[in-house]
Amino acid sequence: MSRRIGILGGSFDPVHAAHLALAKAAADAFALDEVRLMPCAQQALKRRRPAPAEDRCALLRLALADDPRLTLDCRELWRAGATYTIDTVLELRRELPEAALWFILGMDSVVDFPRWRRARELVGLCAFIAFDRPGVEPPAEPFDPRLLAHRLRGPRMDLSSTDIRAAVANGAAMRYPINEFEARYLRAKALYHEGTPHEADH
C-alpha cells in the first residue's frame, strides 16, 4: 500500500499551535502517514522578508517533537534562486514515485491559485486538501474542481504568525500558543523584536 504524504507549505514565521493542529487534523481526516511542514524562502505572492531560514527551521524542529507523523522538510529554503510549489512537487514525485501526495492549502490560496506557477500542471500532480480561512469564501467557480474536492472542516486558522510577531515585539509571546521551548528560543535570539532587519524590509 502506498504511503500517503501531506505537504503543508508556508513561511512559518514563526510556526505556532494552529499550524500544528491543522497538520494533525489533516493527517487524522485523510489517513496521512506523514505531513511534511515545508518552510519557504519567501512566498512568491508576499513581499515581506521572513526571519532567517536557520531560525525558522530550528523553531519548527522544537514544535514538531510531539507527533512522529509531522516532519520537517527544508528543501525550499536551501534551493538556489526562486522556488515554486511546482518544483517541489516534481522533486517529490521523482523521489517518491509510489507515494500519494496531498497538498494542504488555505482557502485564500485556492482563490489565488490561478496566479501560481504552472498551475494547470500542478493540479494533475497531487491531491489537494483545502481548509477554511476566516473571512475567505470558497470561489464559486474554482480554477479546478479538484482544489475543493477534499475539504478540511477545522480547525480554523484564526491565529496568524502576524499575531505572534506582534506579541513578541510587545513582550507578550507567552500569551499565545507556542510551546515553552519555542518561547525560550525566541527570547534567546531576540527574533521579531522591533527594529530587526527582516521586519523593516519591504
For residues 178-201, average pLDDT: 53
For residues 131-142, average pLDDT: 92
Instruction: Tabulate helix, strand, coil % of the chain (nearest 5).
Output: 45, 15, 40
For residues 149-168, average pLDDT: 70
Domains of the chain (ranges; CATH) run 4-157 (3.40.50.620)
Q: What is the mean pLDDT of the chain?
A: 83
Per-residue pLDDT at 174: 47
User: Given the C-alpha cell 517518491, which residue does it identify?
Assistant: 96
What CA–CA distances, in Å, run from 141 to 21, 109, 147?
29, 14, 11
Per-residue pLDDT at 5: 99
Least confident of 69-73, 76-80, 98-102: 76-80
Question: Cα–Cα–Cα angle for 119, 121, 127, nearest 5°?
Answer: 85
SS3 assignment, position 113: helix
Question: pTM score, two decimals?
Answer: 0.80
Looking at residue 174, the DSSP 8-state letter turns out to be G
